[in-house]
Amino acid sequence: MSKKVFVVIGAIIFISLCITMRPAQSAEDYGALIKNSCVSCHGLKKICGEVGKADNKEWEEIITRMAKKAAKKNIVLTNEQQTGMVTYLSSPKDAKTLCTD
Ligand code: HEC
């Protein structure tokens, strides 16, 4: 086989990996989103205080309640963003990045 064939195959593998591994929105983005949308009324401390304590279901309740409050301040959070935040905040490993800054 010629060298060219290997280069082409390599490129195809590389591109497919990039496509399959691309997340819709990465954990870091949710950290940034929380920083942007959730600290106008209280600090990160209030949020981080619940990380590791609240479980997935409790975060769902908190985020739903907070999203309603935020909406009154014209901070719009889509359902997808809310679900992403719940997942992010329920995972202390992810949320640690937000809370140790
Ligand atoms: C419009 C103001 C406002 C915004 C925006 C807001 N919060 Fe809150 N948050 C509050 C108030 C007020 C409380 C105190 C408890 C209450 O009144 O419900 C609170 C309490 C909390 C608590 C403590 C736990 C609890 O159940 O009360 C957490 C965690 C929290 N907020 C997370 C968030 C997150 C995450 C966001 C972004 C999605 C957010 N907040 C956006 C006003 C806000």
Specify the pTM: 0.81
5-34 pLDDT, tens digit per residue, is 877 777 776 767 666 665 566 777 999 999
Q: Is the CB of 48 under 6 A from ligand 1?
A: no
Q: Which of 45, 20, 23, 24 is nearest to 34 (CA)?
A: 45
Element at 55 (helix H, strand E): none
38-94 pLDDT, tens digit per residue, is 999 999 999 999 999 999 999 999 999 999 999 999 999 999 999 999 999 999 999
Pull the structure tokens for residue 31. 């950290």
Specify the pLDDT at position 22.
Answer: 59
Please report where in the chains the tokens 């990465």 appear, as a residue.
Answer: 26
Number of H helices, E strands in the chain: 6, 0
Q: 52 with 26: CB under 8 angstroms? A: no
Q: How far is the CA of 37 from the centre of ligand 1 (A)?
A: 11
